[in-house]
């Protein structure tokens, strides 16, 4: 045989081999036509499972709010809290740190939204706890009880076998975990604004809970800023009583003036870290899960599963036929 001549020319091409004059694609189409009952069964089976799941899952309302960084300028702004220019460039001392190390109040707001110290503060409110864990609160006995169901019972049993306890009354850590499962924060148009959504089975509770989390986060950051400003003012006043050099006293007086301006602006009854561009709102009807999306996807998934089972059955049958031959 001359060099360069292939014994199997189809091996180096994209052409599919044929069997009995029929290509692979035609064979697959013929197989699907013959197994149309399998396809219908899989499709309607997926739809039936989706309908049953929708009946079992409690529908939920999605409360939505849009926030953005607090405006410093404009008619609706609270103004700059930290003086940018003062006689001795004291702004750097009022807000220390290099530019790449600074953290804005809005970034702190997003990080603490419903977590950490904010969750601990929310855990002290009985209304928030009952809204987050309605299935664990017994209104008649006014007591908390372990979660019901087979899976929680099995979990408690397994932990009891190793000497551990699963159930404790809701605390800050459990509140943070529950909010983390329910909250979603999305960026709007690649800008500074954020859309925050929270799902709950009751519409009024979803709106109230989202508003409480936002108010608690802003109040925590305001209190922390006021604490830091008060500490710096007290320290400057203490140093002023011990310094007699006129230049040093003038520098400290400028710092004291700046910090008193900061403390005054912190006390203004306006949003501290985040402006509420769009207050919490929700649709009048439950919007999760959406049957218009779940049912067609379930039917498509059932159809694909039926195709896979039909192909696997045909391949196994051909394999057994080949071994028998």
* CA–CA gap between residue 162 and residue 152 (Å, rounded): 16
Give the other-Cβ count within 10 Å of 181's Cβ: 10
Distance of CA 271 to the CA centre of its chain: 23
Query: Residue 10 corresponds to which tokens in the numbers above?
Result: 């189809």
Q: Give me the half-sphere count of Cα atoms (radius 13 Å) on the Cβ side of residue 238.
A: 6
Q: How do residues 164-181 score in pLDDT, each as one tens digit?
A: 877 778 888 989 999 999
**Which structural domain range is residue 192 located in?**
58-133+170-281
Identify the three-state secondary structure at position 63: strand
Query: Residue 304 domain-assigned?
Result: yes
Let me know whether 305 and 256 are in one domain: no
Query: Residue 316 domain-assigned?
Result: yes
pLDDT of 134:
86
Query: Residue 75 domain-assigned?
Result: yes
| Helix axes of 36-56 and 24-34: crossing angle, nearest 10 degrees | 60
**Has residue 20 got a pLDDT over 70?**
no
Q: How far is CA 275 from CA 116, 221, 252, in A?
A: 21, 13, 33
Q: How do residues 225-258 score in pLDDT, each as one tens digit?
A: 899 989 989 998 888 888 888 888 888 888 888 8
Let me know whether 46 and 73 are in one domain: no
Q: Which helix (H) or strand (E) holds 117?
A: helix 117-123
What is the number of domains present in the chain?
A: 2
Q: Are 310 and 31 in contact (CB under 8 A)?
A: yes
Place of tokens 């309607």: 44
CATH number of the domain where residue 90 is located: 3.30.1890
Q: How do residues 45-63 score in pLDDT, each as one tens digit?
A: 999 998 998 888 888 899 9
Let me know whether 93 and 50 are in one domain: no
Let me know whether 209 and 314 are in one domain: no
Q: How far is CA 192 from CA 9, 215, 225, in A?
A: 60, 19, 22
* CA–CA gap between residue 50 and residue 205 (Å, rounded): 27
pLDDT of 208:
93
Poorest-confidence range of 20-24, 68-72, 175-179? 20-24
* CA–CA gap between residue 255 and residue 196 (Å, rounded): 38
200 has which bridge partners? 61
Let me know whether 49 and 63 are in one domain: no
Let me know whether 52 and 95 are in one domain: no
Distance of CA 175 to the CA centre of its chain: 14
Query: Residue 47 domain-assigned?
Result: yes
Which range scores top for mean pLDDT: 5-9, 17-21, 82-86, 285-289?
A: 285-289
Mean pLDDT of the chain, nearest integer: 80
**Confidence (pTM):** 0.73
Let me know whether 242 and 318 are in one domain: no
Q: How do residues 293-313 score in pLDDT, each as one tens digit?
A: 889 999 899 888 888 888 887
> For the residues 255-272, what does the mean pLDDT come to?
86
Query: Residue 146 domain-assigned?
Result: no
Let me know whether 47 and 190 are in one domain: no
* CA–CA gap between residue 122 and residue 129 (Å, rounded): 8
Query: Residue 27 domain-assigned?
Result: no
pLDDT of 207:
94
Give 134's DSSP letter.
G
Let me know whether 117 and 207 are in one domain: yes
Query: Residue 251 domain-assigned?
Result: yes
Pairing of strands 274-281, 194-200: unpaired
Q: Are 168 and 133 in contact (CB under 8 A)?
A: no
15: left (phi over 0), alpha (psi -120 to 50) or beta: beta
Let me know whether 71 and 53 are in one domain: no
Let me know whether 46 and 77 are in one domain: no
Query: Residue 155 domain-assigned?
Result: no
Let me know whether 205 and 325 are in one domain: no
């Amino acid at each position: 045989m001359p060099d360069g001549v292939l014994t199997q020319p189809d091996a180096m091409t994209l052409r599919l081999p044929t069997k009995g004059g029929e290509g692979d694609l035609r064979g697959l189409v013929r197989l699907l036509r013959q197994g149309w009952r399998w396809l219908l069964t899989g499709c309607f089976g997926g739809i039936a499972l989706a309908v049953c799941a929708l009946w079992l899952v409690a529908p939920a309302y999605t409360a939505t709010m849009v926030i953005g960084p607090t405006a410093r300028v404009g008619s609706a702004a609270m103004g700059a809290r930290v003086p940018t220019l003062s006689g001795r460039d004291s702004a750097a001392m009022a807000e220390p740190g290099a530019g790449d190390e600074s953290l804005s109040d809005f970034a702190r707001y997003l990080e603490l939204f419903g977590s950490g110290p904010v969750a601990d503060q929310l855990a002290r409110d009985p209304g928030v706890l009952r809204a987050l864990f309605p299935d664990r609160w017994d209104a008649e006995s006014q007591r908390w009880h372990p979660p019901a169901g087979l899976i929680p019972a099995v979990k408690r049993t397994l932990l009891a076998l190793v000497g551990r306890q699963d159930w404790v009354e809701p605390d800050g850590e459990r509140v943070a975990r529950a909010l983390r499962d329910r909250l979603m924060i999305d960026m709007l148009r690649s800008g500074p604004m954020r859309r925050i959504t929270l799902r709950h089975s009751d519409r009024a509770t979803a709106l109230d809970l989202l508003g409480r989390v936002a108010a608690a986060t802003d109040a925590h950051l305001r209190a922390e800023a006021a604490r830091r400003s008060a500490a710096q003012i007290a320290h400057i006043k203490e140093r002023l009583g011990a310094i007699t050099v006129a230049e040093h006293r003038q520098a400290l007086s400028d710092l004291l003036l700046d910090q008193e301006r900061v403390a005054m602006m912190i006390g203004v009854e306006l949003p501290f870290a985040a402006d509420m561009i769009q207050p919490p709102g929700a649709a009048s009807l439950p919007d999760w899960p959406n049957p218009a999306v779940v049912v067609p996807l379930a039917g498509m998934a059932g159809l694909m599963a039926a195709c896979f089972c039909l192909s696997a059955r045909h391949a196994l049958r051909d394999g057994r036929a080949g071994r028998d031959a």
